[in-house]
Chains A and B, each alone.
Chain A
Amino acid sequence: MNLEELKKLKEKAQRQVALREGNKKYRVVVSMGTSGIAAGARDVMKTMLDEIEKRGLDDVEIRVTGEHGLEDVEPVIRVEQADGEEVTYARLNAEKAKQIVAEHLAKGKKVDNLAVGKQKKAE
């Protein structure tokens, strides 16, 4: 581990905290149980945090949860919208995570080919 690298952690954490205030249009929940972590959930989350920061999307918050009960298709995230709509995305990697940020979170367009299961519609 490089000590200099680690020092950047502070700046980075500060920038990400700044994006976190207020009510959000989107909440992203990352499944971060042991099986999620083993499948790469941390790197999916890191990519999303980086992309959100890069694009300055201040209408998104990211949270984590334990097991989703979807161990076979990890890494899994759920995007919850303020209007009640929910979409679950599965079998993710960094590339797909970028795509979800670029399409769903930045433009409000669901990424249908990555979504799984029944989607909860807006109320």
Chain B
Amino acid sequence: MLEELSLHLLDMAMNSLAAGARCVQIAVLESAKRNWLIVRVRDDGHGMDAATLERVLRGHSGKQSRKKKIGLGLALLRQTSEMCGGHFHVRSAPGRGTAVAASMRYHHVDRPPLGDLQATMLALCAANPAVDVQLHYQSDDGKFFFSSQEQKG
């Protein structure tokens, strides 16, 4: 359904914006040499309690979820990461923001491509100019850091 990891990142960051985050930190760490890839989204939004988190991880089911706005983005990412030999982790608490991390084997045959990370970032920058959207990227070739608030100069 979400065929690129950068679409998952957009989906998660949209959840962060909906949670009232002022700062959304996205990280993409990949190494072909060491055969791993990690995507991570961390925000300072209003967070989730344990029951909500459990529902989110299970993915939506039927009418009730529609009312409560539970989607299936995270459930899908979890499935992808576990299928690709990685781990999936969420930490969230009311008032303390949410952090999601998914790892996978870089060379796993089912690993989705990273896709158009630039388009994801530009969409997020335009989505809410008051929020600081950050990207930490690291690969075998080097590092890159971006912050939407820095661009205002």
B49: interface (CB < 8 Å): no
Q: Is A33 a contact partner of B10 (Cβ separation < 8 A)?
A: no
Chain A: which residue is nearest B129 at the CB level?
Answer: A20
Task: Decide if the interface of chain A is mainly helix, strand, loop or mixed.
Answer: helix
B14 surroundings in chain A (CB, below 8 A): 32-33, 37, 64, 66
A49: interface (CB < 8 Å): yes
Q: Is A46 a contact partner of B116 (Cβ separation < 8 A)?
A: yes
How far apart are the CA atoms of A7 and B121 in the complex, in Å?
12
Count A interface residues, CB 8 Å.
Answer: 30
How far apart are the CA atoms of A72 and B153 in the complex, in Å?
41
How far apart are the CA atoms of A43 and B4 in the complex, in Å?
12
Give a binary string over B129-153; 1 marks a CB under 8 Å from any A CB, 0 the rest: 1000001010101101010100111
A93: interface (CB < 8 Å): no
Count B interface residues, CB 8 Å.
Answer: 39
Q: Give min CB distance, A34 to chain B, whole Å.
A: 4
B51: interface (CB < 8 Å): no
Q: Is A16 a contact partner of B7 (Cβ separation < 8 A)?
A: no
Q: Is B118 a contact partner of A17 (Cβ separation < 8 A)?
A: no
Q: Is B114 a contact partner of A37 (Cβ separation < 8 A)?
A: no
A1: interface (CB < 8 Å): yes
On whether A17 and B129 interact (CB within 8 A), knowing A1-B117, A9-B121, A42-B10, the answer reads: yes
Q: Give min CB distance, A19 to chain B, whole Å.
A: 10
Q: Is B7 a contact partner of A6 (Cβ separation < 8 A)?
A: no
How far apart are the CA atoms of A33 and B7 in the complex, in Å?
11
Chain A: which residue is nearest B7 at the CB level?
Answer: A37
B109: interface (CB < 8 Å): no
CB-CB contacts below 8 Å: A5-40 with B: 5-10, 12-14, 16-17, 20, 30, 32-34, 37-38
Q: Is A34 a contact partner of B137 (Cβ separation < 8 A)?
A: no
How far apart are the CA atoms of A66 and B1 in the complex, in Å?
17
Q: Is A14 a contact partner of B153 (Cβ separation < 8 A)?
A: yes
Q: Is A66 a contact partner of B69 (Cβ separation < 8 A)?
A: yes
Q: Is B151 a contact partner of A6 (Cβ separation < 8 A)?
A: no
B50: interface (CB < 8 Å): no
**20 A-B interface contacts by CB (under 8 A):** A1-B117, A3-B137, A3-B139, A7-B144, A12-B118, A13-B121, A13-B148, A13-B151, A14-B151, A17-B151, A32-B14, A33-B71, A38-B7, A43-B119, A46-B123, A62-B126, A64-B17, A64-B127, A66-B14, A66-B69
